[in-house]
Structure 1
Amino acid sequence: MKGLILLFASLSLPIMNAQSNVYDVTYFGAIADDGKDDSLAFQSALAELNDDDTLMIPNGLYDICRTISLFSKRNISIIGAGKAELAKCDDFVGEYLLYIKHTTDLMISDVVFTGLNNGNSNQVWGEQGLYLASTKNSMIVNNEFYHFGDAALRITTSPDEGKYAVGSEDIIVMKNKFQGCAQVTTTQATKNTFVGGSNDISIIENQFVECSLKLSSRTEVSNAKVINNDFNNINGSAVELSYYSDVLFENNNLSNIDGFLLNIYPNSRSDRKVSWGGLRINHNQFSYSQQGIRLQSYSDWEQATSPIENISITNNEFQVITFDGVSNPQYQTAIRTITKDERWSFSNVAIKNNSYRDEYTFLFIDKNVIDIDIEGNNSIPVEASID
């Protein structure tokens, strides 16, 4: 078979059997650094893959002029060698650079994905990078994403699933760099769909430079971990959470954020009330942002019957929140809750052992919050703060 290598053992390629078929994309006609369209060669290589196979991409720049895709496979690895870069052509046809659907046990590592627009400064909706639709047990590790006007990486449920389905689960996004993009997201953007985002997703040790993270769903999803990431120089909210339950946001560094540090709110694109709760925001470093943490329990269109429960914000450090352009004093707080329901908001809330600068108000809690524990929060004198 063309370009086939039998690999008997390898410690460097995860999710591979002891004997796997490994294909080199150059055997299908892809030529790096020649300025010519390589999308047909890449599509031919992807079409050749069977379950348990690996596609290797040698060092160099490959021009991709139309969407390439992989559907309904199992245990596939796509691995770059050196600096293997897939870049959109200026006249790119399609929306996504690489579209993968209904695939289990997927690994993509050491690949550079490059788009056409800096979405942090100029959002271009529909100009996107890697799309994983209804994949399970996927690992996106040690890649780089640059200049996508919309989502550099979208991991969500395919729109062809049933209403309220959640077909994306067990996702690891680790040690990647996202720069100059509008977002990394779990939102299904197709109009008039109400599927979920991703269950059991871990976002670990990534760099978000001029690129935000949006964990959003239109139905119930749970278990998201956002740990040890760096977020900086972001135009807008650094992190948005919508209809995710059992979220751990821990040991992250956020700096130079021209918006909210975290914006947590109901998803107005859902067509029904969705149950959610269980957020832990612990041991994070927050510095140089326009606003703090915003938590909205209910919108005015929801029919609330009980509070959103179990919110923990502990052991965080808040440095330099400017509140530029924010005139309402109740909005000039590091942590703020809000509800649009006349009766219900949050319950079982712990805000403990946080530190903040004493030049601004730390908390604004709406009147409908119940069962709240506020203790051990300490102001830092301005002269002792890190400027």
Structure 2
Amino acid sequence: MANSPEDHTVHYQLSALALLLSFSSLASANPFDVTDFGAIANDGLDDSSAFQDALDQLSNGDILTIPSGEYQICRMLHLKQKNDITISGVDGSHLKKCTPFAGEYLLHIAYTQNLTLQSIHFEGINNGNQQPVWGEQGIYLGSTKGSRIIHNQFNHFGDAGLRITTASNDHSNQPGSTSIIVRGNKFKDCAQVTTTQATSGTEKAGTQNILIDNNQFIGCKLKLSARAETRGAKVTNNTFADINGTANEVSYYSDVSYFNNKFDNILGFAINIYPNPRTTKEIQWGNISIIGNTFDTIQQGIRLQSFGKKTIAKQPIKNIQIEKNIFNNIHFKNGKNKIEDQYKAIIRTTTQDSVLSFDHVQIQNNHYNLTPSSQFLSIDNKTTNITIENNSEK
């Protein structure tokens, strides 16, 4: 049936209204440039005041541009309670911590919605991959919603290059940090990228529904950790390489999926999943899938611990899938320290509870090779409903 003239009129009016709203939104977004506030690239002088003045001037929906060049940041910068902000660099935009530096984070962001942080090189002071320096950190996002961290570089942070978590003073019952995208970044020579709220005396959630996609973690660990119930983490298409210790830790997170990641030259576990000993809360976690990843030259493989010594176990940890992965040269060499034979399994489950461990575990269609004294699987005798099928040695 053909549309009536009235239908066409209504359609035109709605289209015109949508276009008007679009132009109105663009008109209300003010562009700012840090050089307009006195920041001067490549002069070796402190640009902290200029950057803070620029951040203070931003209103909801504004855009702050950082032209190319190196800017010295000598004290911690702050952005709080502003929405729909974009902070964008261009090729060669480089924010570098001074030595000495006043504060903990290079940039502290809290209680924002729909923040975009893109195309900026952040540089700290210490190589956290060689030796952690706790408290020397890069970017903090506390209780932000809808943040997008895309196409940035994070180098040389003794602690977290990027910490995305629920703020320590957030007293809501739900995770304050939600719906985060971390995509296309390079993290190098930092101790970690983490969702942990590490402030002493707090037991907060991490980040709920976080996508970590197509990043490079070169000498930098990923730690998905929470001290209260937290759900939803997708780790896809990333590279983890040259890490001096465990590459990934998962603690008290549920609904976690690892898909199509590459792990290479890791001097520790590729993935270590365990209950968080730093909280007194009883958290029932589960639903972990590790599918279609490649592990090459790893000191140890995948470890899953259901319960620790202090954990109160009321029901098993349910639904673990490890499928269609490739394991090459999982070598179990630890310098002068010998790894005991009972720990030399590419995939190992363990529990410290006398009765309970995991339930519904599927380990299928994986390919692996074995090194001397190693084995493919070590499943604790408290784990139930196990499916082990079509795993093959190459």
Q: TM bucket by the smaller chain?
A: over 0.9
- Aligned 1:97-108 pairs, distance under 5 A: 97-108=106-117
**3-state SS in 1 of match to 2:115:** strand
Cα shift at 1:165: 4.4
Q: 2:70 aligns with which of 53, 61, 78?
A: 61
Are the structure 2 counterparts of residues 17 and 174 from structure 1 closer, same or farther at C-alpha, using a change threshold of 3 Å? Answer: farther
Deviation per CA, 1:180-230: give whole Å up to 9, x if none.
000000000100100100000000000000001000000111110000000
AA matched with 1:18 = L
Deviation per CA, 1:130-177: give whole Å up to 9, x if none.
000000000000000000000000000000012764100000000000
- Aligned 1:330-349 pairs, distance under 5 A: 330-349=342-361
| Unmatched segments (≥5 aa) in structure 2 | 1-23
Cα shift at 1:321: 1.1
Q: Confirm or deny: 8 A CA contact 1:163 1:193 kept in the other structure.
A: no
> 2:316: which partner in 1?
307
Q: 2:389 aligns with which of 375, 378, 384?
A: 375
Q: Confirm or deny: 8 A CA contact 1:84 1:112 kept in the other structure.
A: yes
AA matched with 1:222 = R
AA matched with 1:98 = L
> 1:7: which partner in 2?
none
What is the identity percentage for the equivalent residue pairs of Structure 1 and Structure 2?
50
**3-state SS in 2 of match to 1:260:** strand
**3-state SS in 1 of match to 2:90:** strand
**3-state SS in 1 of match to 2:180:** strand
**3-state SS in 2 of match to 1:69:** strand
Q: Confirm or deny: 8 A CA contact 1:205 1:227 kept in the other structure.
A: yes
> 2:86: which partner in 1?
77
Q: Confirm or deny: 8 A CA contact 1:164 1:195 kept in the other structure.
A: no
Cα shift at 1:18: 2.4
Query: How far apart are the structure 2 equivalents of 1:266 and 1:67?
Result: 33
Instruction: Give TM-score, length-normalised by structure 2.
Output: 0.91
Alignment of 1:176 onto 2:160: no
Q: 1:89 aligns with which of 98, 101, 105?
A: 98
Cα shift at 1:272: 1.7
- Aligned 1:1-387 pairs, distance under 5 A: 17-19=25-27, 20-162=29-171, 165-325=174-334, 326-359=338-371, 360-380=374-394
AA matched with 1:341 = D
**3-state SS in 1 of match to 2:268:** coil
AA matched with 2:285 = W
Instruction: Give TM-score, length-normalised by structure 1.
Output: 0.93
**3-state SS in 1 of match to 2:54:** helix
Q: What is the count of residue pairs matched by the alignment?
A: 365
Are the structure 2 counterparts of residues 34 and 182 from structure 1 closer, same or farther at C-alpha, using a change threshold of 3 Å? Answer: same
Deviation per CA, 1:218-259: give whole Å up to 9, x if none.
011111000000000000100000011001100000000000
Query: How far apart are the structure 1 equivalents of 2:25 and 2:286?
Result: 39
Query: How far apart are the structure 1 equivalents of 2:379 and 2:278?
Result: 26
AA matched with 2:179 = D
Runs of 4+ aligned residues of structure 1 deviating over 4 Å after TM superposition are none
Cα shift at 1:358: 3.3
> 2:5: which partner in 1?
none
Deviation per CA, 1:19-70: give whole Å up to 9, x if none.
2101000000000000000000000000000000010000000000000010
Cα shift at 1:81: 1.4
* Bigger Cα Rg: 2
Query: How far apart are the structure 2 equivalents of 1:235 and 1:80?
Result: 30
Q: Confirm or deny: 8 A CA contact 2:250 2:274 kept in the other structure.
A: yes
Deviation per CA, 1:268-326: give whole Å up to 9, x if none.
11112211000010000000011010000001111101100000000000000111134
Query: How far apart are the structure 2 equivalents of 1:213 and 1:198?
Result: 13
Q: Confirm or deny: 8 A CA contact 2:330 2:370 kept in the other structure.
A: no
AA matched with 2:223 = K
Deviation per CA, 1:58-114: give whole Å up to 9, x if none.
000000000001000110000001210000001110000000000001000000000
Deviation per CA, 1:334-376: give whole Å up to 9, x if none.
0000000000000000000001103330000001000000010
Q: Confirm or deny: 8 A CA contact 2:329 2:370 kept in the other structure.
A: no
Query: How far apart are the structure 1 equivalents of 2:196 and 2:148?
Result: 18
Query: How far apart are the structure 2 equivalents of 1:270 and 1:202?
Result: 25
